[in-house]
Structures are given as structure tokens and as C-alpha cells.
Amino acid sequence: MVAKAKEELEQEMIVKEEEKQKYLAERAPPLNMNGLSLAQLQALCRELHAKIDVVDEERYDIEAKVMLNTREIKDLNIKVLDLRGKFKRPNLRRVRVSADAILRSLLGSKHKVSMDLRANLKSVKKEDTEKKRPVEDSDWRKNVEAMSGMEGRKKMFDAAKGSAQ
């Protein structure tokens, strides 16, 4: 596999070199200096120097843009790493907060009325509920005995008829 990869790499380099030669042949044709006078050679040199200056300016501008983008990418990567590292989400716990505390945190010093929610609740006497239970239990047992058999079903049928009318 290593040998095959080495061969492919060599072929790639050959292809790139051929492409480079084609590009240079198109962009910079070979110089023909035979039979030129000194003044013509000097003019040709000035022309070539002007082209070189233009290419150097373009290369410098492109390098500056690349450096700026590279620096910006590094800064953004650092920011991303900082944000990932700093803000770990803690395990949340349930916290009991009263209605007064919530209103104080939301309204600040404006909150003066205390909300005592328990004060508005209806009070229930336990004695009343305890007295009703034995009665219900005894009534239930009596009802079962009374309703057993055909007579009980007839009573239920009559009761249902009477309530429907």
C-alpha cells in the first residue's frame, strides 16, 4: 500500500509540474532578444519591471488578506474554546421559593403586599369527616344486603325510573 501511495504521489507531482509549465507558457511567452538594439532592450526591461511590480503588489495584497483571515480564525477558535471551557452547566437542584420571595426578586422594592396563600384556604374540620365515615361504612353494608337478590335489583330499577322522571 505504501508503494502504491508513493507512485500516486509521484504522478500527482508530475501532473502539477505539467500544469505549471502550461500556465507559464500562456502567461509569459518566451523572450525574443535576438537582433534588438540597446534602446529596445532597455524598453523591454522597463516593461518587464512594470509587470513584476504589478504582480508583486497583487501577491502582497493577497498575502495580507490571508494573514488577516488566519489571525481572525485563530481568534475565533480561541473564543470558542474559552466559551466551551468556562460555562459548564451545573446540576440543577429544586429550590423552594415562596411567592413573596419571587415577587421581591421580580419587583424589587416595589413589592409591599405579602401574599399569604394559606390564609385564603378554606379550613376543614377533621371531626366532621371522622363522624361521616362509620355511617358510610354501615350504610354500605346495609345497602349490599338489601340489594342482594331479585328484590334488590327491582328496587334499583324502580329508583332509576323514579329519578329519570
What is the per-residue DSSP string for 84-103?
A: HHH-PPPPP------HHHHH
Which residue reads 415577587 in cell numbers? 103
Per-residue model confidence as pLDDT tens digits over 63-118: 999 999 999 999 999 898 888 776 667 778 877 877 777 777 777 766 555 556 66
Residue-level pLDDT at 156? 65
pLDDT at 98: 77
DSSP annotation of 34: T
**Contact between residue 36 and residue 44 where contact means Cβ atoms under 8 Å apart:** yes
Q: Give the pLDDT of residue 46.
A: 94
164 vs 20 pLDDT, higher one:
20
pLDDT for 29 equals: 76
Q: Within 13 Å and on the Cβ side, how many CA atoms surround 108?
A: 0
* The pLDDT value given to residue 96: 80
pLDDT in tens, 119-154: 667 777 666 555 555 555 556 666 666 666 666 666
